[in-house]
Amino acid sequence: MVKQRHPRFVDDEDSEVTSLEAIARGPSAEQVAEAIRSGICPSDRFFDQFFPYDLQRVSGQHWTQLSVALRVAEWLTGASVKSVVDVGSGAGKFCVAAALASRCSFIGIEQRPRLVEAARALARIFDVDDRVRFVEAAISHSVVPAADAYYLYNPFGENLFGSAERLGDDVELGLERYERDIAFMEEFFERAPVGIYVIKYNGFGGRMPRSYDEVIVDRAMPNMLRMWRKSRAGAAAW
């Protein structure tokens, strides 16, 4: 179980960070990593300080919270999962944090070059780049690799956001893209081998095939966290 936050790694999440100098007063990467490995969940701000400042500012909306990443790491360990793909990995927060909390290997798929660069830097900072790597690409059958488990934190939702909430206009976004990517993931999960796991945080916009059983649900997180396992060969109907 994830332990209660230790006072050393907690600050006022509601206070406003007004300077880079204030951010720099947080614990070191080594201290944050040791806390996570020990089962302590630090403040997200202490982890986010290792992103470029513009990515720190959007972390609360776009990146997985540490409490969620650590809970998923517990589930992965309990299911003896060895390899995980994060679909829409952003700046790499989930992959790096979950790698610190488990022995799994992670591949993040992200279409924005600047986010891939930040994610790779984060993996180096936390010294998990031997088990965490990031692929710069939009999702497709040739890109999404085989794995024991797949993690999705509403990766296609940005297509429906207004311009002020988006990370930028440097990639294709919109309803057509949203529907196309969801259809791809539904088909991908339908064709996936029996035994794989799918972990969804705040969903992914589509539906799981009937060949999957929901095995764990956590309703205590800010959004619904669910784990599914493919238990039988895919069916034609949904």
The domain limits of the chain are 7-59, 63-230
pLDDT at 168: 86
> Cβ(162)–Cβ(211) under 8 Å?
no
Question: Is a pLDDT exceeding 50 seen at residue 225?
Answer: yes
Task: Report the predicted TM-score, pTM, of the whole model to 2 decimal places.
Answer: 0.88
Q: What is the mean pLDDT of residues 138-158?
A: 92
> Cβ(91)–Cβ(118) under 8 Å?
yes
> Cβ(85)–Cβ(150) under 8 Å?
yes
> Cβ(119)–Cβ(127) under 8 Å?
no
Average pLDDT across the chain, whole number: 89
Question: Is a pLDDT exceeding 60 seen at residue 194?
Answer: yes
Question: Is a pLDDT exceeding 70 seen at residue 9?
Answer: no
Span 54-82, pLDDT tens digits:
999 999 999 999 999 999 999 999 999 99
> Cβ(93)–Cβ(122) under 8 Å?
yes
Question: Is a pLDDT exceeding 50 seen at residue 173?
Answer: yes
> Cβ(67)–Cβ(46) under 8 Å?
no
Residues 6+ apart with CB under 8 A from 16: none
Nearest Cα neighbor of 24 from 1, 46, 54, 56 is 46
Q: How many CB atoms lie within 10 A of CB 236?
A: 7
Among 165-174, 179-188, 201-210, the range scoring the smallest mean pLDDT is: 165-174
pLDDT at 235: 54
pLDDT at 12: 47
**DSSP for residue 201:** E
Residues 6+ apart with CB under 8 A from 161: none
Q: What is the mean pLDDT of residues 202-220?
A: 95
pLDDT at 122: 98
Q: What is the mean pLDDT of residues 2-17?
A: 46
Confidence tier at 41 by pLDDT (50, 70, 90) = very high
In order of 13, 38, 82, the CA distances from 123 in angstroms are 24, 19, 18
The CATH architecture of the domain made up of 63-230 is 3-Layer(aba) Sandwich (3.40)
E runs forming strands in the chain: 83-87, 105-110, 132-136, 149-152, 197-201, 212-218, 225-230
Q: Give the CA dihedral 162, 160, 92, 49, nearest 10 degrees.
A: 30
Q: What is the mean pLDDT of residues 21-47?
A: 87
Nearest Cα neighbor of 159 from 139, 179, 143 is 179
Three-state secondary structure call for residue 27:
coil
Question: Is a pLDDT exceeding 70 seen at residue 159?
Answer: yes
